[in-house]
Amino acid sequence: MVGMTPYEKTFPVHGFFGIFLLLLSEIFLFRKVEPFYSWFYCFAWWSYIFTIDAVIYRLKGNSLIMNRRREFLLMIPWSIFIWLIFEAANLSLKNWYYINLPHSLIERWLGYAIAYGTVLPGLFETTELLETLGLFKKSTGRMTYTVTLIEANGVIPAKAGIQKNTGFRVKPGMTISRWLLIVLILFGVFCLSSSILMPGYFFPLIWIGFILLLEPFNYSFGGRSLLRDLEEGNPRKIYLLLSAGLICGLLWEIWNFWALSKWIYTVPFFEEAKGFEMPFLGFLGFLPFAIEAYVMYNFISLFRLKRGWEETTYNLHPDQKTRGMTAVLTAILMVSFFVLIFQTIDLKTVDSYYPRLKDAYWIEPHYRKVLPKVGIASLDDLFEKTRDKTERDELALRLLVPKEEFLPWIEKAELALLKGIGTENLRLLEAMGISSVSTLASQDPKKFHERLGKAFQSGQIPRLAKIRIWIREARKKVRSSELKNQTFNNDLIV
State whether 88 and 121 are in the same domain: yes
Residue 112 confidence (pLDDT): 98
Average pLDDT, the chain: 89
Rounded Cα distance between 261 and 420, Å, is 9
Around Cβ 162, how many Cβ atoms within 10 Å? 11
Residue 164 lies in a domain: no
What confidence score (pLDDT) does residue 288 get? 97
Least confident of 46-50, 200-204, 432-436, 460-464: 460-464
Can you tell me the mean pLDDT for 458-464? 83
Based on the domain organization, do 337 and 448 belong to the same domain?
A: no
Does the pLDDT value for residue 147 go beyond 60? no
pLDDT at 131 over 80: yes
Query: Of 325, 349, 373, which closes a domain?
Result: 349
Residues 203 and 108 reside in one and the same domain: yes
314 lies in the same domain as 410: no
Contact (Cβ atoms closer than 8 angstroms) between residue 434 and residue 428? no
Query: What proportion of the chain, given as a percentage, has pLDDT over 90?
Result: 78
Q: Return the closest-CA partner of residue 470 out of 432, 422, 433.
A: 422
Of all helices (H) and strands (E), which one includes residue 339? helix 324-344
Q: What is the pLDDT of residue 134?
A: 95
Q: Is residue 280 assigned to a domain?
A: yes
296 and 411 both lie in a single domain: no
Name the band, by pLDDT with cuts 50, 70 and 90, for residue 481.
Answer: confident
For residue 86, pLDDT over 60 is answered with: yes
Provide the terminal-to-terminal Cα distance of the chain, rounded to the nearest Å: 63
Indicate the residue among 349, 382, 401 that finishes a domain.
Answer: 349
* 436 and 387 both lie in a single domain: yes
Q: Is residue 385 part of a domain?
A: yes
- Check: CB of residue 175 under 8 Å from CB of residue 219: no
Looking at residue 273, its pLDDT comes to 72
Same domain, 288 and 405: no
Residue 164 has pLDDT above 70, yes or no: no
> Measured between alpha carbons, how far is 115 from 108 in angstroms, rounded to an integer?
10
- pLDDT score, position 158: 46
Q: Residue 322: helix, strand or coil by DSSP? A: coil
pLDDT surpassing 80 at residue 183: yes
Domain C-terminal end among 316, 349, 382: 349
53 sits in which H/E element: helix 40-60
- State whether 336 and 374 are in the same domain: no
Q: Does any domain span residue 307?
A: yes
Q: Is residue 150 part of a domain?
A: no
Please indicate, yes or no, whether residues 257 and 377 belong to a single structural domain of this protein: no
Q: Does 97 have pLDDT greater than 90?
A: yes
Which pLDDT value is given to residue 140? 67
- What is the arithmetic mean of pLDDT over 309-327? 88
Element housing 265 (H / E)? strand 262-265
Q: How many CB atoms lie within 10 A of CB 5?
A: 8
Nearest residue to 461 via CA among 438, 436, 432: 432
CB-based contact 102:259 (threshold 8 Å): no
pLDDT at 312 exceeding the cut of 80:
yes
Give the pLDDT mean for 250-273.
88
Return the higher-pLDDT residue of 243 and 146.
243
- Beta-sheet strands, E only, within 149-255: 165-170
Q: Side chain identity at 416, as an amino acid letter? A: A
Q: 333 with 408, same domain?
A: no
Do the domain assignments include residue 414?
Answer: yes
Asked if 221 and 255 sit in the same domain, the reply is yes
Residue 94: its pLDDT value, please?
A: 94
Q: Do both 363 and 475 map to the same domain?
A: yes
Query: Is the pLDDT assigned to residue 143 strictly greater than 80?
Result: no
Q: What pLDDT sits at residue 322? A: 80
Supply the DSSP symbol for 156. P
CA 189, 193, 198, 203 dihedral sign is: positive
pLDDT tens for each residue of 211-250: 999 999 999 999 999 999 999 999 999 999 999 999 999 9
Q: What integer pLDDT is reported at residue 323 of this predicted model?
A: 85
Say which residues have a Cβ less than 8 Å from residue 319's Cβ, sequence separation at least 6: none
Beta strand residue intervals within 378-428, DSSP E: none
State how far the Cα of 80 lies from the Cα of 173, in Å rounded to an integer: 35
Strand ranges (E), 6-142:
96-99
Mean pLDDT of 329-355: 97
- Confidence grade of residue 493 (pLDDT, cut at 50, 70, 90): low
Question: 43 near 256, Cβ under 8 Å?
Answer: no
Q: What domain range is 424 assigned to?
A: 359-493
pLDDT value at residue 272: 67
Q: Has residue 315 been placed in a domain?
A: yes
Asked if pLDDT for residue 170 goes beyond 60, the answer is no
pLDDT band at 494 (very low <50, low <70, confident <90, very high): low
Residue 165: inside a domain, yes or no? Answer: no
Residues 251, 261: contact at Cβ < 8 Å? no
Q: Using 50, 70 and 90 to split pLDDT, how confident is the model at 317? A: confident
Q: For residue range 392-438, what is the model confidence (pLDDT) as tens digits?
A: 999 999 999 998 899 999 999 999 999 999 998 999 999 999 999 99
d(CA 63, CA 52): 9
**pLDDT value at position 426?**
96
Q: Structurally, how many domains does the chain consist of?
A: 2
Alpha-carbon gap, residue 325 to 303, rounded angstroms: 14
